[in-house]
Amino acid sequence: MMAQLSLPGVATPPGPRHATRRRRSRSRRRLLYGALILLLVLTAAGAWVVYSGIRAKDNLLRAAGEVRVLQTQAESGNVAGERISLASLQREAHSARVETGGPIWRLARVTPIVGSNAAAITTVASAVDDLAQHVLPSLVDTSATLDLQAIAPHDGRIDLAPIQHAAPAIVDAATALQRVHDQVAGISTSGLAPIVRRSVLQLRSELDAAVTTTSTAARAVTLLPPMLGATQPRTYALLFQNNAELRATGGIAGSWAIVRVEHGAVHIVKQGSAGDVNSHLSGVPVPPDVAALYTNRPGTFFQDVDMAPSFPTDATLASEMFEQAYGIAVDGVISTDPVALAGLLKATGPVQLPHGESLTASNAVPLLLSQVYQDIQDPAQEDTFFAQAANAVFNALSAGQGDARATVEALADAAGAGRLTVWSRHPDEEKLLADTELEGAMPVTERPGSPTVGVFLNDGTGAKLDYYLHENVAVTPAVSCPAGRIAFHVLVTLTSTVRANAKGLPAYVTGEPRSGVSLGTMGTQVVVSAPLGGSIVSATVGGVRSSIGTGGESGRSDGVVFVDLAPGETKTIDIELATADLSADIRAHGLDPHLRLTPLAVPALLHLPHISCTND
């Protein structure tokens, strides 16, 4: 072989080994350049995401401000202002959606670490824009046409045409809002940056409230025309519950009225008392789960028809009693109490009673639940007085007396406090009433982490002492929790404000003297209903271990304790509950319980903290 020669000044062609090194060097440089370019692109994209994210945040903050203005204008009836605010809101919301759209944000959404945050921001911006473009316009248009004063009763009649005209738009808006709500509810908050997580949770909370409001409005405009006799006449029983003698849903159904409704025209056709029904009654069947806890009394005595805390059950029994006693087949049952009437009197103003008394918002509760028993000793005359008071308020409402907006607010407040409940015999209407405040029942489903607990009271004295009963309900965590569940205590503190020896109270209020018991002592059945799938663990009364009756009404476990309260006495009933088996995530984050209570003459004081296992 000839040796390769190298001439001075002349480059020698590279050999195979040198060529390989040169190719590797060029590849590394290309990779380095590519990496630098990718880094620059990602840096620019990141900067753009941050820049556009800040702009989107500003848009969303301004949009939130417009929403608050819009709410104020809607409440005051400023339709012109609503339209201006809506237009501004739509611009800001659309700008936020544009800022978080495009290819760079699509790339950001699939990028590790930042992807979940970018996806959440994009979803929030889209949700707010959908609200502005597809939900709020219908609601603003409706507020311009659905004037509460126009649909308020006049001369005993409600004009149904505006309600029927507005119904499709309200239903469509509620449906669209539910879609947006579900979209935001689907955002996982795990791993989000704190500021993004707070924004998602805040929007979720506001959407929860908005869905409740719009779905209630949608149900109302769907229900009201047929229930007010738009297509055929309707007959309803109105029950007036007396909170001076407690039953689970409020008080004994001491007085009632039968109301006829046709094309929005409303008039009372019959009135009476519990005793009137009882005199024509042989008894109606009681559901087995109700009878197991409350005996057959709810189907035997009209004043006990509402011992069970499920108003649909109580109303069904009441309707069967009216049919048996009078041959009247009612289309539904509506119940209220003197506290709700006082709220309505704030809207209507005072009403005059036949003997010259004035029934006002300030005197309705003490007059109807206490003073009447001081002034009138004859139960028959008391029943007449109650009927006259109910007539006076009914006539004021049907005549359109007072402010319509205040009347609607009073009705909403009464429903929220469990003081206005409605049941319909018609299945499609009862389905729409289900899971609303008007239904008056424990929910059949619960959101994870938000269990509902019931605390219900039934008078066992057969007197009118519960006007003087005060209640404080608190929920506290248990010391330890069963595996996979959370346990907590429901503390029900009852206080009697009756004076010693029931001084100054007539026998009709104190009831019959009981052997070994101070006059004026209240006997009360306390029923605590556990969350769905939960259980009753134990009970104490005044710190002493107590026997507890148990049962299962409406698919829940119930604990029953009977308590005597002497005049001026306070006792605390402590019932420990355990939830159903929980997911690890809910167990880690704890519970936010809700309460449903018997409405007393004096509203109960509540303490509902966040609950978690103290041993974790």
Dist CA 444 CA 435 (whole Å):
8
Measured CA to CA in angstroms, residue 512 lies from 278, 301, 382, 464, 520 at distances of: 21, 19, 19, 11, 9
When pLDDT is averaged across residues 510-517 and rounded to a whole number, the result is 82
What's the pLDDT score for residue 362?
96
Q: Which amino acid is at 479?
A: V
pLDDT band at residue 46 using 50, 70 and 90 as cut-offs: very low
pLDDT band at residue 175 using 50, 70 and 90 as cut-offs: confident
What's the pLDDT score for residue 26?
57
When pLDDT is averaged across residues 286-300 and rounded to a whole number, the result is 94
Q: Percentage of the chain surpassing pLDDT 90? A: 48
User: Cα–Cα–Cα angle for 367, 362, 395, nearest 5°?
Assistant: 75
Q: What is the DSSP string of 416-456?
A: HTT-EEEEESSHHHHHHHTTSTTT-S--SS--TT--EEEEE
Dist CA 63 CA 127 (whole Å):
12
Question: Considering the entire predicted model, what is its pTM?
Answer: 0.82
pLDDT band at residue 436 using 50, 70 and 90 as cut-offs: confident
Is residue 573 pLDDT above 90, yes or no? Answer: yes
**DSSP 8-class letter at 287:** -
What's the pLDDT score for residue 25?
55
Is residue 59 pLDDT above 60, yes or no? Answer: no
Q: Which two tokens stand for residue 398?
A: 């049907």
Is residue 72 pLDDT above 80, yes or no? Answer: no
What's the pLDDT score for residue 22?
54
Higher-pLDDT residue of 591, 324: 324
Stretch among 74-78, 164-168, 275-279, 507-511 having the lowest mean pLDDT? 74-78
**Distance between alpha carbon 582 and the CA centroid of its chain, in Å?**
23
Instruction: Convert the pLDDT of each residue in 373-430 to its tens digit.
Output: 999 988 889 888 998 998 899 989 888 888 888 888 899 899 999 999 999 999 999 9
What's the pLDDT score for residue 350?
95
Mean per-residue pLDDT of the chain: 84
Dist CA 353 CA 262 (whole Å):
27
Is residue 134 pLDDT above 90, yes or no? Answer: no
Is residue 127 pLDDT above 50, yes or no? Answer: yes
Highest mean pLDDT among 70-74, 179-183, 214-218, 425-429: 425-429
When pLDDT is averaged across residues 66-82 and rounded to a whole number, the result is 69
Higher-pLDDT residue of 392, 156: 392
Stretch among 13-17, 241-245, 356-360 having the lowest mean pLDDT? 13-17
Is residue 41 pLDDT above 50, yes or no? Answer: no
Q: What is the 3-state secondary structure (H, E, C) of 146-196?
A: CCHHHHCCECCECCCHHHHHHHHHHHHHHHHHHHHHHHHHCCCCCCCCHHH
What's the pLDDT score for residue 114?
66
Higher-pLDDT residue of 375, 137: 375
Is residue 562 pLDDT above 90, yes or no? Answer: yes
Dist CA 162 CA 404 (whole Å):
15
Dist CA 220 CA 238 (whole Å):
19
What's the pLDDT score for residue 616?
47
Instruction: Convert the pLDDT of each residue in 443-484 to its tens digit.
Output: 998 888 889 999 999 999 999 999 999 999 999 999 888 888
What's the pLDDT score for residue 223?
93
Under 8 Å between Cβ of 529 and 578: no
What's the pLDDT score for residue 110?
64
What's the pLDDT score for residue 355?
79
Q: How many CB atoms lie within 10 A of CB 287?
A: 16
| Contacts with 566 (C-beta within 8 Å, 6 or more apart), sequence order | 496, 517, 518, 520, 521
pLDDT band at residue 126 using 50, 70 and 90 as cut-offs: confident
When pLDDT is averaged across residues 95-116 and rounded to a whole number, the result is 68
Question: What dihedral do alpha carbons 252, 258, 259, 262 form, nearest 10°?
Answer: 140
pLDDT band at residue 43 using 50, 70 and 90 as cut-offs: very low
